[in-house]
Each structure stands twice: as C-alpha cells, then as structure tokens.
C-alpha cells in the first residue's frame, strides 16, 4: 500500500472509531424545568389517557436508565403512542437523562416479599417466568429493566398487550408476551399493581 494512502486510511479509521461525546449524568434540577409540560399528565395521580382509557404510567421510583430507554422508544417509534412520540421527538439524549434523573430522584422502591393475597393471588404463579428480570415483587434488579411494582393495573394491561399485539416492538418483551392470554395479562397486572413501589411525582411533593 502507498504510504500516504495508509496514513489517510489510519486517520479515517480513527475518526470512525473515536467515541463521540458521552452524555453527562442526568441533572435532576434541569430535568424538573424540562418536566413542566409532562406534569399535566404524569404529575396528576390517576390521570387518564383516553381512547383507549388507561391511567398514565407512574414515573416516580422508576429506574433512571429505563426511563431514558422508554423515551428513546417513543422517539424512534418502536413504541406507538402519538402523544408520547410528539413529546419525545425533540428531546436530546442529555434532555432525556435530565428528565429521567428528575423523575427517579425520589425514594427508590425496595425489593421485598411479594404480596400474594387478594387479586394478586391469581397472578402470583403466572409471574414465575418474569421474575428473573423484573424481581420477585416487581422491583427489577437491573437499571435497564423497568420496575413494575405498584404501577397502575390498567396501564400494565395496556403495556403487556402492546408487546403481544405489536404496539411495542421490544424483541425481549415480544417473546415474553406472545403466549399470554387476556386472562393471564389481567392476572399478572393485578399481581404487580398490588405490590409496594412506584408513585406519581408531582410538584406539590
Ligand atoms: C398528554 C399526556 C402526556 C404528556 C404531556 C406526557 N406524557 Fe408521557 N406518557 C403518557 C401516556 C398515556 C403514556 C403511555 C404511552 C404508551 O402507551 O406507551 C406515557 C408514557 C411515558 C413514559 C413510559 C413510562 C413507562 O413506564 O414505560 C415515559 C418515560 C414518559 N411518558 C415520560 C414523559 C415525559 C418526560 C414527558 C414530558 C416531556 C411526558 N411523558 C409527557 C402521557 C403523557
Ligand atoms: C429477559 C428479561 C425480561 C423478562 C424475562 C421479562 N421482561 Fe418485561 N421487560 C424487559 C425489558 C428489557 C423491558 C423494557 C422493554 C422496552 O424498552 O419497551 C420490559 C418491559 C416490561 C413492561 C413495560 C413496563 C412499563 O413501564 O411500560 C411490562 C409491563 C413487562 N415488561 C412485563 C413483563 C411480564 C409480565 C413478564 C413475564 C411474562 C416479563 N415482563 C418478562 C425485560 C424482561
């Protein structure tokens, strides 16, 4: 190889493989400022999405890394939901980190013994396959797997059904949901909703 070509090639390769600037850790104070438009839905306990009707997810106590992954899912349209796609469309990676840091800045739910009484009882057996990633009581051990404990029951039904029926394209969860019946999903959602965990973050807190 000609010497200059070799040098040029090396320089080019260096450019390609040089890591880009990594986003800094999330700044919860800036996240709180960015979160203002979010609070009209996520900051009101029990606030509902219409068509279909389900309560908007609780973000308080959720894993920070997972919140970023979820926002990326709406931005890339791997998750279908026109309102959230519009909310995420113009967020930079750093904005997402800051928002996630704000919503995750409160108390973190503890992994404990699951509640298996009442309506949770029907789902207790059916979640055996989920616990490796989502924890025995729905508090996931890894930061990129969502906490499910205490999430709204109707939102959980909506989310699991979306992985099964194609509204959410995450390959891991599509495989998990493919064989669940509507009854299984209802029972599993009742189980996770009965656990202690997530909460609604509001400016009043
Ligand atoms: C008009 C109401 C509304 C507004 C405003 C809104 N959201 Fe949402 N958000 C929703 C709904 C409804 C969902 C569930 C969507 C779905 O079906 O996946 C959701 C889902 C999410 C999720 C996924 C949660 C999970 O458990 O996977 C995150 C994260 C999120 N929103 C963050 C935000 C942020 C950050 C903002 C502000 C920049 C915002 N949202 C603004 C209604 C809203
Ligand atoms: C191999 C690990 C793994 C297993 C096993 C698993 N999950 Fe998940 N789960 C994930 C990941 C990763 C996501 C985030 C996917 C995404 O980005 O949308 C997720 C997301 C979810 C969500 C969405 C949470 C939210 O806030 O929107 C629900 C609900 C859920 N899983 C329920 C289940 C149930 C029920 C089972 C068992 C039938 C299960 N998962 C098994 C890894 C797993």
φ/ψ region of 100 (left if φ > 0, alpha if ψ in -120 to 50, else beta) reads alpha
The Cα 21–Cα 71 span in angstroms is 20
Average pLDDT rounded to a whole number, residues 145-163? 98
Residue 24: pLDDT band by 50, 70, 90 thresholds? confident
- Ligand 1 pocket, residue 81 CB under 6 Å: yes
Average pLDDT rounded to a whole number, residues 181-199? 98
The Cα 148–Cα 139 span in angstroms is 6
Predicted confidence (pLDDT) at residue 172 exceeds the cutoff of 90:
yes
Given this model, what pLDDT does residue 130 score?
A: 98
Given this model, what pLDDT does residue 203 score?
A: 77
pLDDT digits (tens, 9 = 90+) for 78-127: 999 999 999 999 999 999 999 999 999 999 999 999 999 999 999 999 99
- Measuring from atom 24 of ligand 2, which residue has the nearest CA? 146
Decide if 57 contacts 151 (C-beta within 8 A): yes
The Cα 112–Cα 130 span in angstroms is 16
- Ligand 1 pocket, residue 160 CB under 6 Å: no
- For ligand 1, the distance from its centroid to the CA atom of residue 71, given in whole angstroms, is 8
């Amino acid at each position: 190889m000609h010497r200059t070509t070799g040098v040029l090639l090396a320089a080019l390769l260096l450019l390609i493989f040089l890591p880009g600037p990594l986003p800094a850790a999330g700044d919860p104070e800036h996240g709180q400022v960015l979160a203002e438009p979010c609070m009209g839905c996520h900051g009101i306990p029990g606030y509902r999405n219409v068509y279909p009707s389900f309560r908007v997810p609780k973000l308080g106590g959720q894993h920070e890394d997972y919140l970023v992954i979820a926002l990326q899912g709406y931005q890339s349209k791997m998750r279908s939901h026109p309102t959230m796609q519009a909310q995420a469309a113009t967020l930079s990676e750093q904005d997402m980190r800051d928002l996630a840091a704000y919503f995750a800045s409160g108390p973190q739910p503890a992994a404990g013994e699951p509640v298996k009484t009442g309506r949770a009882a029907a789902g207790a057996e059916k979640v055996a396959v989920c616990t490796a990633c989502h924890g025995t009581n729905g508090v996931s051990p890894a930061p990129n797997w969502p906490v499910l404990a205490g999430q709204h029951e109707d939102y959980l039904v909506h989310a699991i059904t979306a992985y099964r029926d194609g509204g959410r394209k995450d390959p891991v969860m599509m495989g998990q949901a493919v064989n669940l019946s509507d009854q299984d999903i209802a029972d599993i959602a009742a189980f996770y909703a009965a656990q202690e965990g997530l909460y609604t973050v509001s400016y009043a807190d």
